[in-house]
Amino acid sequence: MNGLNPELLMMGFIWYVVFLFSTTCHEASHALAAKIGGDSTAALGGQLSLNPMPHIQRSFYGMVIFPILSFIVSQGGGMIGWASAPYDPLWERRHPRRSAVMALAGPAANFTLMLLAVALIHGGVALHLFHRDPVTGAASFAATVLQVLFFLNLLLGTFNLLPVPPLDGSTGIMLLMSETQAQKYLDWIRGNSFAMVGLLVGMYAFSKVFPSIEDFALRIFF
């Protein structure tokens, strides 16, 4: 990394603000879907909020430390982190399909933000609102924010859809199961410590497929 120059610090600031906003929307969507489905655990814990502070207080390392470190390690190439919304395990047992909807609500929020970024980028281009710096050729602040919003939410949404614990996809796939199958699946997935192994496998697999996903998304939307 070529030092903490002003450009890098500005990019870090943009990435972090977008990360906080996107992750907060993701977790608040989990909490909202759970409440609608009959579980108010996350809502009572303060996660049904677009204020990032309750989410930071619950997952300080995932919302503050790790995102900043990941940006530094990637030499300004990106940022990743995590948060969580609590839920009632007994509610999940009684209503596995509602739990699946709760899990998928997070990635759905990310894809919604991604599509919002696409719409705003196309609108800004059509209205000639984005102007590059005449000296450096750098993209405008607004264009940069929207580009980060698109990329980060594409990454968060697709990564969380992987069907490996503890990612949302591992719970979301219960929508494809019968109640009996979902109960047996919960016995298996909750009765074993798959979280760390699943996360490592998911990260490795995702690193292989995400460039193709990103290329496909760019060709479709832009």
Tens of pLDDT along 146-187?
A: 999 999 999 999 999 999 888 999 999 999 999 899 999 998
Cα angle value 2/200/49 (rounded, 5°): 80
Contacts of 173 (CB under 8 A, 6+ apart): 100, 163
In this prediction, residue 132 has a pLDDT band, given cuts at 50, 70 and 90, of confident
The per-residue pLDDT for range 52-92, each reduced to its tens digit, is 999 999 999 999 999 999 998 888 888 889 999 999 999 99
Assess whether pLDDT exceeds 90 at residue 212.
yes
Pick from 45-49, 72-76, 134-138: least confident: 134-138
Average pLDDT over residues 101-119: 98
Report pTM. Answer: 0.92
